[in-house]
């Protein structure tokens, strides 16, 4: 569900978030219209608004784990976790975590990849939120859900800053709700950024 459909219709914070996203054509390969969120972090108000919207949604849901998907989920996850009184669990690319891990492979729109999580980072019965910057096919979030559920966590919801209007990946999320702040930007709106 988009934030604008859930009580935030017309909220100027959503427009500010959308306007802060830069479109980079052909990155990381031809045909991809990369939605670059790094300019969002250059404006402390827009960054705070992004985190605040998520915090307002999740503060009373009894979430004890915020799992951030490498790497852009790391930019939002810790702030959200601190604000709602949860721990932050990084879901990393292979070989980045030093202790024992469990792994989950998945398919991207432009290749395949794998996520890893430390064994013991999540306890059975913990309620988890998965955070990432963007959902396209749903493969990454689906892998994150599988990792957390293999450790016995209950995934309450997945959240992304950007999501396709048709959210093709929602059907791959194992029935988990999906919360999205804004739609992807079009290249025409981003000239000069």
Active site residues: 72, 109
Tokens for 105, please give them.
């492979």
Nearest to 86 by CA among 105, 114, 61, 64: 64
Residues 6+ apart with CB under 8 A from 63: 84, 86, 127, 128, 129, 156
**Residue 175 Ramachandran class (φ > 0 left, ψ -120 to 50 alpha, else beta):** left
Peptide bond into 119 cis (omega under 30): no
Distance between CA atoms of residues 156 and 126, nearest Å: 10
Q: What are the Cα distances from residue 36, in Å, to 93, 100, 129, 148?
A: 20, 32, 23, 27
Secondary-structure breakdown of the chain: helix, strand, coil percentages, each rounded to the nearest 5? 35, 30, 35
């Amino acid at each position: 569900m988009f934030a604008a459909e859930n009580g935030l219709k017309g909220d100027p914070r959503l427009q500010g978030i959308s306007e802060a996203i830069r479109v980079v054509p052909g990155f990381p390969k031809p045909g991809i219209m990369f939605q670059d969120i790094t300019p969002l972090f250059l404006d402390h108000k827009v960054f705070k608004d992004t985190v605040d919207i998520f915090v307002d949604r999740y503060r009373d849901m009894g979430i004890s784990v915020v799992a951030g998907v490498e790497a852009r989920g790391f930019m939002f996850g810790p702030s959200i976790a601190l604000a709602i009184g949860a721990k932050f669990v990084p879901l990393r690319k292979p070989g980045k975590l030093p202790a024992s891990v469990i792994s989950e492979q998945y398919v991207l729109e432009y290749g395949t990849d794998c996520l890893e999580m430390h064994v013991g980072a999540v306890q059975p019965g913990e309620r988890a939120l998965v955070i990432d910057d963007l959902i396209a096919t749903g493969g990454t979030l689906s892998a994150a859900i599988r990792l957390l559920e293999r450790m016995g966590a209950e995934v309450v919801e997945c959240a992304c800053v950007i999501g396709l209007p048709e959210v093709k990946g929602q059907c791959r999320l194992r029935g988990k709700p999906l919360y999205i702040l804004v739609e992807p930007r079009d290249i025409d709106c981003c000239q000069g950024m």
